C-alpha cells in the first residue's frame, strides 16, 4: 500500500493522548503514519487564529509534514470535527476521506459569519462568551464540574483534565474564535464533498442523532451510529472509531 497519512484532531479540552485507545485498536499497517497534533499548544494551529486562517495553516502544516506524498485521511472529534470540516473545505483535494465524529455542521442559515441579528447565533455567542470567561478566570475544578454537567454530554466518559496541561487563554479563545456563532453553515460543503465524508454520532446523543438524520434527509449523507455511546464517542466507543478508520484504510489496500 502507498503511504497513508492519518491525522487525528481531538476535541475541546482534548489532548493527543485521547487517541491512544483508537490507535491501539488499529492493525499494524505498512506505510501508515499517524499524526495527533496538539492544536492548543502549537502556535500556528492554536485558537489565536480564526476558522479560515486556521484551516490554511493546518493544511500547510499537513503538506510540510507529509512532503506532499501519500494519501491523507482526516479524523475529527467534536470541535476537532468542526475544524476538520474547515480544512476539508479549504483544500478538498488534499484529503482522501474525512471521518467526522460528533460534529456540528453549523446553524442552518445563510450567514457566513456571526451576525447579531440572528437570534440563535446571538444566544450561542453569549453562551460561548460566558464559558470563555469561566475558562479564563474561574477555579479549574468548578469549571470542569460545570462543563461536564452540560446536558449535551449525557454522562459520557471523559479523561481527567488537569489545569497544568493547558494554556487557559487558548481554551478561552477557542470558545470565541471557534464558536458555533462564528462558523458558517457547512451543509453545502458537506453535500458537495459527501463522497469524502463519513459521519458518526453516538446512539445516546439525541441532539446530534436528530441533526444527522436531518442532514441525511436533506443532502443524502449516510451516518453511522455508535451503539450505547454519548456525544463522547471517542471515549465511549474507541473500537468503533477504529473500525471506521480500518474501513477507510481498506479502500486503499
Is the pLDDT higher at 90 or at 156?
90
- Do residues 234 and 201 make contact, with C-beta atoms less than 8 angstroms apart? no
Q: Picking from 58-67, 69-78, 95-104, 107-116, which range would have the lowest pLDDT averaged per residue?
A: 107-116
- Do residues 10 and 36 make contact, with C-beta atoms less than 8 angstroms apart? yes
Residue percentage of the chain with pLDDT more than 90: 86
Structure confidence by residue, pLDDT tens digits, 121-143: 999 999 999 999 999 999 999 99
- Please report the pLDDT score of residue 115 as a whole number: 63
Q: Does 97 have pLDDT greater than 70?
A: yes
- Do residues 117 and 111 make contact, with C-beta atoms less than 8 angstroms apart? no
- Please report the pLDDT score of residue 113 as a whole number: 58
C-alpha cell belonging to residue 159 = 479523561
**Mean pLDDT in the chain?**
94
Structure confidence by residue, pLDDT tens digits, 31-75: 999 999 999 888 899 999 999 999 999 999 999 999 999 999 999
Average pLDDT over residues 112-120: 70
- Do residues 209 and 203 make contact, with C-beta atoms less than 8 angstroms apart? yes
Rounded to whole angstroms, the Cα distance separating 213 from 16 reads 30
Average pLDDT over residues 192-210: 96
- Please report the pLDDT score of residue 112 as a whole number: 62
The full set of domains in the chain, from first to last, is: 4-111+184-251 (3.40.50.1820)
Q: 56-94: string of b/e by CB count within 10 Å (b at 16+)?
A: ebbbebbeeebeeebbbbbbbbbbbbbbbbbbbbbbeeb
Distances (CA, A) of 137 to 127, 140, 141, 174: 16, 8, 12, 15
Q: Does 233 have pLDDT greater than 80?
A: yes
Rounded to whole angstroms, the Cα distance separating 185 from 30 reads 38
Distances (CA, A) of 117 to 62, 105, 124, 128, 183: 37, 20, 12, 17, 15
Q: Which helix (H) or strand (E) holds 133?
A: helix 119-137
Average pLDDT over residues 101-113: 86
C-alpha cell belonging to residue 190 = 458537506
**Closest Cα to residue 232, out of 130, 177, 150?**
150
Q: In this structure, what are the phi and psi dihedrals at residue 199, rounded to the nearest 5 degrees?
A: -110, 135
- Do residues 247 and 24 make contact, with C-beta atoms less than 8 angstroms apart? no
- Please report the pLDDT score of residue 41 as a whole number: 87
Average pLDDT over residues 186-192: 95
Average pLDDT over residues 73-101: 98
Amino acid at each position: 500500500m502507498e503511504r497513508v497519512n492519518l491525522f487525528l484532531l481531538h476535541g475541546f479540552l482534548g489532548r493527543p493522548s485521547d487517541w491512544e485507545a483508537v490507535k491501539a485498536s488499529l492493525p499494524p499497517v505498512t506505510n501508515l503514519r499517524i499524526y495527533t497534533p496538539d492544536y492548543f499548544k502549537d502556535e500556528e494551529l492554536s485558537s489565536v487564529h480564526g476558522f479560515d486562517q486556521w484551516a490554511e495553516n493546518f493544511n500547510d502544516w499537513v503538506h510540510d509534514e507529509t512532503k506532499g506524498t501519500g494519501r491523507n485521511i482526516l479524523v475529527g472529534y467534536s470541535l476537532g470535527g468542526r475544524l476538520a470540516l474547515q480544512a476539508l473545505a479549504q483544500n478538498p483535494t488534499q484529503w482522501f476521506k474525512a471521518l467526522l465524529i460528533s460534529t456540528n455542521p453549523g446553524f442552518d442559515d445563510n450567514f457566513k459569519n456571526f451576525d447579531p441579528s440572528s437570534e440563535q447565533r446571538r444566544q450561542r455567542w453569549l453562551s460561548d462568551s460566558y464559558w470563555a470567561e469561566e475558562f479564563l478566570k474561574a477555579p479549574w475544578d468548578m469549571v470542569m464540574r460545570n462543563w461536564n454537567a452540560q446536558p449535551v454530554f449525557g454522562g459520557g466518559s471523559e479523561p481527567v483534565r488537569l489545569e497544568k496541561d493547558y494554556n487557559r487563554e487558548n481554551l478561552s479563545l477557542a470558545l470565541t474564535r471557534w464558536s458555533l456563532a462564528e462558523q458558517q453553515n457547512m451543509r453545502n460543503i458537506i453535500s458537495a464533498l459527501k463522497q469524502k465524508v463519513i459521519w458518526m454520532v453516538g446512539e445516546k446523543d439525541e441532539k446530534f442523532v436528530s441533526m444527522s438524520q436531518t442532514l441525511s434527509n436533506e443532502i443524502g449523507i449516510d451516518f453511522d451510529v455508535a451503539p450505547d455511546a454519548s456525544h463522547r464517542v471517542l471515549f465511549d466507543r474507541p473500537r468503533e472509531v477504529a473500525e471506521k478508520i480500518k474501513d477507510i484504510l481498506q479502500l486503499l489496500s
